Chain A
Amino acid sequence: MSASALATLAALPPGLVWQADRLARPAEAGMPTGFAALDAQLPGGGWPRGALIELLGDAPGIGELGLLLPMLRAATAAAERWIAWIAPPHLPYAPALAAAGIPLERLLLLTPDDHAETLWAIRQALASGGCEVVLAWLARADTAALRRLQLAAEESATPLFLFRPAAAAIQSSPASLRLRLVPTTDALTLDILKRRGPALAAPIRLTIPDRPTPPSRALDPTHDALVCADPPRFAVAGIHARRG
């Protein structure tokens, strides 16, 4: 690009033209993720408010929920709207959610029977405007379905976090933000596959605070009490009649 063209671009009011080597500045600021390192790399400085966000990871238990917990806590502080969990792979465990500070009275847990019902439920949750955040788990989805979800999320200004297997990374997607979640021994590595901005040089490493922090060295099951930072607590209910 010639110098004069660059000068012309620089003279334009900010926001009119988006240059691909910079982060887009959406009109509305994003929802803070709770992780400064991640906020810095996202257009709008946080999770986009009305968009399809794909989180690609293989197994539940890599810290994918811990990544969203700060946002969920902040998003539901005042609103009367739902946090919808649609077709989760396992049961969201109420004691842990309560301990993490998620208001369970705003939780809407949907377990549709099949894939078509799941897609229907996601679209309804988005279109109704009755949800603050929609979390959904889809094993497979074609581009047309994703496109519809992205449009529905944009129209209703409701963020949709879609959890998909890591293999879906090779599929093209209309999502405005795609993250690949790769667990390492003590942190979660985020690879931004797609964002409104330049490609990311190196993956982001995040330590998820809501997960049990591993002690400096691993436990030996035979010497547990010695290395366990937290003394073990026994749940003893009443006086036990020992059998046999």
Chain B
Amino acid sequence: MDDPGTLAVVEHHPRARIVAATAEALVRGVEPGRSVAGALAVAPQLQLRDRDFVLEAATLDECATWAGQFTPCVSLDPPDTILLETSASLRLFGGLDALARRIAEALIPLGLDASIAAAPTPLAARWLARTSAGKLMRASKGWARSLDALPVDLLADGGTVSTPTLELLRDIGVRRIGDVVRLPRDGLARRQATAVIDTLARARGEQPDPRPWFIPAERFESRIVLPASVERTEPLLFAAGRLFSGLTAWLAARHAALDRCRLYLEHEDVPETLLEIVTGRPGRDEARLALLAREHLAALTLPAPVEALRLSAEAPATLPARTPDLFGDPETARDSATLLLDRLRARLGPDAVRTVLPVAEHRPERAWRPAEPGSRPARGASGSGPRPLWLMDEPRALGSMRAFTLLSGPERIESGWWDGDDVRRDYYVARAPDAVLCWVFERLDPPGGWYVHGFFG
């Protein structure tokens, strides 16, 4: 999206300090942990934003939902970590390295940046992600020894070790995890440091560390606040693309599919604009949603600049698993036919895309009805006289019949007295002077006269 520029996030408690900063700010020396005054001294143009815990939690939730596409076992580890239990997914994604690469790539369109690490226990994975991102540690004999080099401060991160205990350890010269491992256990236990033993045992896999699995929400609701008011389509589509990838991941995690979702464009003063995105058949194809959103936006005049985007969806249907066919997919033709329908509907509007079906009715102008494309006509055609392939919207009055040659007829159509729209007409097939075959009728009720109603194409 737009370059955020020199920006930093500030936390006010316990003291005003920088929590995170953009790359541009980092280059200027605005490091996390610095005081706000110090940061402003090195980078006077620095823009500050207050830390928003609610937004952080929502982002973590969204991210956990999204991660459901890689494994069903996702667990939140607040404030900033998501744990994925991937042992069952490795084969599908082609190994740990491939999976990690794929997750990192898939995060880019979400606009998120992650430090990824893997380890046999959740705690160890969390510590590795914190200190040495990109390290993928596999379970092998003595793997826990490689945790020894990590700083001891990590014991407070994700574990139950309190700050005073950590200070106690520092005071006795413990710098690394390995130093703690070498301390006598009963001595630690006597100094109320059982939490340390406990945390270490969980990190090293000597004690089980069960985590509650994250359950994705029943309905999808996601919102993006745009960094600046937007009126052009491209940035809107970019932001919407992020929402769509969240939606498709939510669907993938549930093995589900949707045939409609709602995209709201929120404005400053005027009521929000709603785009109802309807795909022809249930699916979770991000590109298809983006394509339809593009057509909708192209046909839309925005009442005001857009401040935020919201996507909501509910009631997903279970998507039947599909096996790829070796000799061309028989579904492809049907798919492209449905996709065409979606695109046309999105751009031209549903009223301009339809089929026509016959209706059992004697009055010609009521003997048809528009219908959804693909609707089947009812069986059993009514036996009647010749009917033209073209029907005029309104019968056109003919001044005189002299130039016309009547070829067949009449067919008397007399119907509709019960609904006040009765007709009494004699229909003929007639040839116009330019050899056009017309369907003409003579009105039997006053004022009478001849009309042309259709053409034999």
Contact = CB atoms under 8 A, between A and B. Distances in A.
A61 interface: yes
Interface stretch (B73-81, B315-323, B432-440): B432-440
Contact of B417 (A63, A121, A229, A240): A240
A120 interface: yes
Interface stretch (B60-68, B86-94, B163-171, B356-364): B356-364
Contact of B367 (A61, A94, A240): A94
A112 B348 contact: yes
A93 B388 contact: yes
B368 A91 contact: yes
Given A80-B337, A110-B348, A128 B343 contact: yes
A94 B356 contact: yes
B347 interface: yes
Interface string A52-82: 0000001111111110000000000001111
A229 B408 contact: yes
B391 interface: yes
A232 B426 CA distance: 10
Given A82-B340, A99-B387, A211 B437 contact: yes
Nearest to A95: B358
Contacts of A62: 435-437, 457
A64 B348 contact: no
A212 B333 contact: no
Interface in B366-394: 367-370, 373-377, 381-393
SS class of chain A's interface: helix, strand, loop or mixed? loop
B234 interface: no
A26 B120 CA distance: 65
Given A89-B390, A219-B409, A236 B339 contact: no
Contacts of A229: 408
Interface string B380-421: 011111111111110000000100011111111111111000
B344 interface: yes
Interface in B428-457: 428-429, 431-432, 434-438, 442, 454-457
**How big is the A interface, by class?**
35 or more
A30 interface: no
B436 A93 contact: no
A105 B383 CA distance: 21
A175 B409 CA distance: 41
A221 B333 contact: no
Nearest to A236: B414
Instruction: Pick from B387, B408, B414 the residue with the most CB of A within 10 Å.
Output: B408
B207 to A, nearest CB: 59
B434 A212 contact: no
Contacts of A109: 353-356, 370, 373
Nearest to A187: B435
Given A183-B434, A235-B413, A108 B454 contact: no
A209 interface: no
Contacts of A113: 348, 352
B409 A232 contact: yes
B388 A108 contact: no
A14 interface: no
A132 B386 CA distance: 28
Interface string A4-42: 000000000000000000000000000000000000000
A130 B333 contact: yes
A228 B411 CA distance: 11
A212 B347 contact: no
A211 B16 CA distance: 87
Contact of A90 (B367, B392, B416): B392
B44 to A, nearest CB: 52
A241 interface: yes
A91 B369 CA distance: 11
A199 interface: no
Contact of B457 (A61, A130, A224, A243): A61
A200 B408 CA distance: 35
Instruction: Pick from A59, A94, A100, A236 the residue with the most CB of B within 10 Å.
Output: A94
A197 to B, nearest CB: 28
B208 to A, nearest CB: 54
Interface of A: 58-66, 79-82, 88-100, 104-113, 117, 120-121, 124-125, 128-131, 183-185, 211-212, 214-215, 218-221, 224, 228-230, 232-238, 240-241, 243
The 9 closest A-B pairs by CB, nearest first: A61-B455, A65-B457, A183-B435, A130-B337, A130-B340, A128-B340, A94-B368, A96-B387, A235-B362
7 contacts: A58-B434, A95-B387, A97-B389, A109-B373, A117-B348, A214-B429, A234-B411
Given A111-B352, A121-B348, A238-B417, 9 more contacts: A66-B456, A82-B373, A92-B390, A93-B364, A94-B377, A100-B389, A232-B410, A232-B411, A237-B362
Interface of B: 333-334, 336-341, 343-344, 347-348, 351-359, 362, 364, 367-370, 373-377, 381-393, 401, 405-418, 428-429, 431-432, 434-438, 442, 454-457
